[in-house]
Amino acid sequence: MTARPRRPTLTSPARIGPLAALPLFHKLEGRRIVLAGGGDGAAWKAELLAAAGAHVEVHADVIGDAMQDVADRDHPGKVELSGRPWSPEDLRGAALAIADVEGDAEAEAFRRAAQAARVPVNIVDKPAFCDFQFGSIVNRSPLVIGISTDGAAPVFGQAIRARIEALLPNGLKAWAEAAKAWRPFVQERELPFRMRRGFWERFTDRALAKPDAVPTDADRDDLLAALERIEQEGQSPVGSAVFVGAGPGDPELLTLKAVRALQSADVVLFDDLVDPRILDLARREAERIGVGKRGHRPSCKQDEITDLIVRLGLAGKRVVRLKGGDPAVFGRLTEELEACHAAGVPTEVVPGITAAFGAAAAMGVSLTERSAARRLQFVTAHSQDGSLPQDLDWKALADPRAATVVYMGVRTAPALVERLLAEGLPPSFPALLVERATTEQQAVRACSIADLPAAIATDPPSGPCLIILGAPAAQYVALASAG
């Protein structure tokens, strides 16, 4: 039965949800900040504020070693120690008021004084008294990332910061500084908006491709010259098509390169099986177009999808074709690449974890085994008309020394099993049916190959499935039996 056609469907990105606090970035250069407290917590706040160029007045009758050390060092701003407790008069005209105090009574007094002076207030480790909070910071200044847990779990915020630190090369600091230095130069050129955006898009591509290279004025001039050549020749800048593997289901299995591609995309064409949480990683302004194809269900035509990729690329769009699993494994990648090459649209392929590898990892089994599975073979059991392909290498598939992973084989399983048994595969040969691999809804059923059609008929899967035959299935059964 042929599935009904459907058209590519434009979907809207998820709207922003409720915010516990609005992240803002204060310009504090030369601004006066009142800080009450001389302990270690106050010392870190003083150092942070002075790093942003603030003039920090520290009021405390007891100054700890850490605070004294901060005051003695050079900063973009300055730290002054008054040697006395704070007073309400100190708060008049201040940009911010911060206190590191022990009891709630003093915290409340400081808050009331700050509010009377109309100065935003923060009390260290007392979120109930705060107008604003300090988050964890990733510092590649002028590239700065702030992380907040709304005061609930600072240690958790610090752990998130550490993860982001690991993802951001230190060299991005130099690129951010270059962007700041070059912006006036680009603005003075009075370029049309399209060219200005094109410059910064190409700048970003270069920075992310070579984050540890030191940007020079030659980079700036090269980027501008390329755009001006396009403008003078009356050409529309050609975009690109990036074919990205979305992995088997779990968003955490997405590669870093895939995330970068999504975050720079103008348009994302995605399969039905892509987890919505992966789509949320695309930049908010990107168009999201569903181009799903599901066996025996309403599906977009492949020719229509291919044509859409090419048209968008020729229109100057950065297109991400987001495919479940790995784009090079039963993903119709070749025809989409060939169409782009013929039209002159630059392409890139970002691999993903194919469902077989994800399923094996999620089950805790190996797909190969020295004594039992020296060959691993992938096969699709779904031809263009939906039937079992007849030109498969049946001798290889019936080899009990191989591990076989069958993609798209649920509907053709009866015919597949019949043929494998006819080729001599033992009826007791172990089989697994793995549904929604790597997700929270993953379900695994073990049986013999002879019983596989009945297992499917008794409880038909509702999600994407793999059939795994051979040693991996035997491993899974042995592990399950061992508890």
What gap in Å lies between CA 274 and CA 320, rounded to an integer? 13
Q: What is the pLDDT of residue 263?
A: 86
Segment 393-405 mean pLDDT: 96
Please, what sign has the CA dihedral across residues 277, 301, 330, 262?
negative
Q: Give me the residue label for tokens 């058209």.
A: 7
Instruction: Show Cβ contacts of residue 448 under 8 Å, excluding neighbours closer than 6 positions.
Output: 427, 428, 429, 430, 431
CA-based Rg of the chain, rounded to a whole angstrom? 30
Q: Give me the residue label for tokens 């409880």.
A: 459
**How close are the terminal C-alpha atoms of the chain, in Å?**
43
User: pLDDT category, 326, cuts 50, 70, 90?
Assistant: very high
114 SS3 class: helix
What gap in Å lies between CA 418 and CA 86, rounded to an integer? 86
The answer to whether 131 and 120 have CB atoms below 8 angstroms apart is yes
Among 224-233, 284-293, 419-428, the minimum mean pLDDT is found in: 224-233
- Residue 406: φ, ψ to 5°: -105, 120
Q: What is the pLDDT of residue 190?
A: 81
| Tens-place pLDDT, residues 47-90 | 999 999 999 999 999 999 999 999 999 999 999 999 999 999 99
User: pLDDT category, 235, cuts 50, 70, 90?
Assistant: low
Q: What is the pLDDT of residue 154?
A: 82
Q: What is the pLDDT of residue 199?
A: 87
Segment 285-290 mean pLDDT: 92
Among 8-12, 61-65, 424-428, the minimum mean pLDDT is found in: 8-12
Residue of 271, 275, 326, 399 marked catalytic: 271
The answer to whether 240 and 348 have CB atoms below 8 angstroms apart is yes
**Domain segments of the chain as ranges:** 32-134, 171-233, 240-353, 361-481
SS (H, E, C) 229-274: HHHHCCCCCCCEEEEEECECCCHHHCCHHHHHHHHCCCEEEECCCC
Segment 443-472 mean pLDDT: 96
Q: Give me the residue label for tokens 């469902």.
A: 355
- 310 φψ region: left (φ > 0), alpha (ψ -120 to 50), beta (else): alpha
Q: What is the pLDDT of residue 440?
A: 93
Among the listed residues 141, 128, 108, the one whose alpha carbon sits nearest the alpha carbon of residue 28: 141
Q: What is the pLDDT of residue 53?
A: 97
Among the listed residues 246, 332, 327, 249, the one whose alpha carbon sits nearest the alpha carbon of residue 282: 246
What gap in Å lies between CA 45 and CA 33, rounded to an integer? 11
Q: Which two tokens stand for residue 30?
A: 């030369």
Pairing of strands 299-300, 32-36: unpaired
Q: Give me the residue label for tokens 């006066």.
A: 32
What gap in Å lies between CA 168 and CA 354, rounded to an integer? 27
Q: Within its chain, how far is the Cα of 49 from the centroid?
A: 31
Fill in the amino acid letter for 472. P
Q: What is the pLDDT of residue 386?
A: 86
Among the listed residues 193, 343, 60, 4, the one whose alpha carbon sits nearest the alpha carbon of residue 201: 193
Q: What is the pLDDT of residue 198?
A: 80
- For residue 236, pLDDT over 80 is answered with no
The answer to whether 478 and 423 have CB atoms below 8 angstroms apart is no
Q: What is the pLDDT of residue 264?
A: 84
| Report field, pTM of the whole predicted structure over 0.75 | no
User: pLDDT category, 4, cuts 50, 70, 90?
Assistant: low
Q: What is the pLDDT of residue 470?
A: 96
What gap in Å lies between CA 191 and CA 249, rounded to an integer? 43
277 SS3 class: helix
Among 28-37, 191-200, 288-297, 432-441, the minimum mean pLDDT is found in: 288-297
User: pLDDT category, 226, cuts 50, 70, 90?
Assistant: confident
Residue of 131, 293, 301, 307 marked catalytic: 293
5 preceded by a cis bond (ω within 30 of 0): no
Among 120-134, 181-195, 262-276, the minimum mean pLDDT is found in: 181-195
> What percent of the chain shows pLDDT beyond 90?
72
On average, the pLDDT of the chain sits at: 91
| Tens-place pLDDT, residues 139-178 | 999 999 999 988 788 889 899 999 898 888 889 999 999 9
Burial 330-340 (b: 16+ CB within 10 A, else e): bbebeebbebb
293 catalytically annotated: yes
DSSP letter for each residue of 334-347: HHHHHHHHHHT--E
Burial 146-178 (b: 16+ CB within 10 A, else e): ebbbebeebeebeebbeeeeeeeeebebbbbeb
Among 201-210, 395-404, 458-467, the minimum mean pLDDT is found in: 201-210
The CATH number given to 361-481 is 3.30.950.10
Residue with the bigger pLDDT between 292 and 87: it is 87
- For residue 279, pLDDT over 70 is answered with yes
Among the listed residues 392, 447, 445, the one whose alpha carbon sits nearest the alpha carbon of residue 422: 392
What gap in Å lies between CA 314 and CA 386, rounded to an integer? 33
Bridge partners (DSSP) of residue 138 are 145
Domain 240-353 bears CATH identifier 3.40.1010.10: yes
- For residue 295, pLDDT over 70 is answered with no
Bridge partners (DSSP) of residue 373 are 369
126 catalytically annotated: no
Q: What is the pLDDT of residue 224?
A: 86
Segment 461-470 mean pLDDT: 94
What gap in Å lies between CA 358 and CA 275, rounded to an integer? 15
Q: Which two tokens stand for residue 325?
A: 């699993």
> What percent of the chain shows pLDDT beyond 70?
96
Segment 412-422 mean pLDDT: 97
How far, CA to CA in Å, does 135 sit from each of 16, 21, 100, 168? 20, 11, 16, 18
Instruction: Show Cβ contacts of residue 306 under 8 Å, excluding neighbours closer than 6 positions.
Output: 335, 336, 339
Segment 198-217 mean pLDDT: 87
The answer to whether 144 and 173 have CB atoms below 8 angstroms apart is no
- For residue 14, pLDDT over 70 is answered with no
- For residue 296, pLDDT over 70 is answered with no
Fill in the amino acid letter for 370. R
Q: Which CATH number fits domain 32-134: 3.40.50.150, 3.30.200.20, 3.40.50.720, 3.40.50.300?
A: 3.40.50.720
The answer to whether 343 and 310 have CB atoms below 8 angstroms apart is yes
Fill in the amino acid letter for 197. R
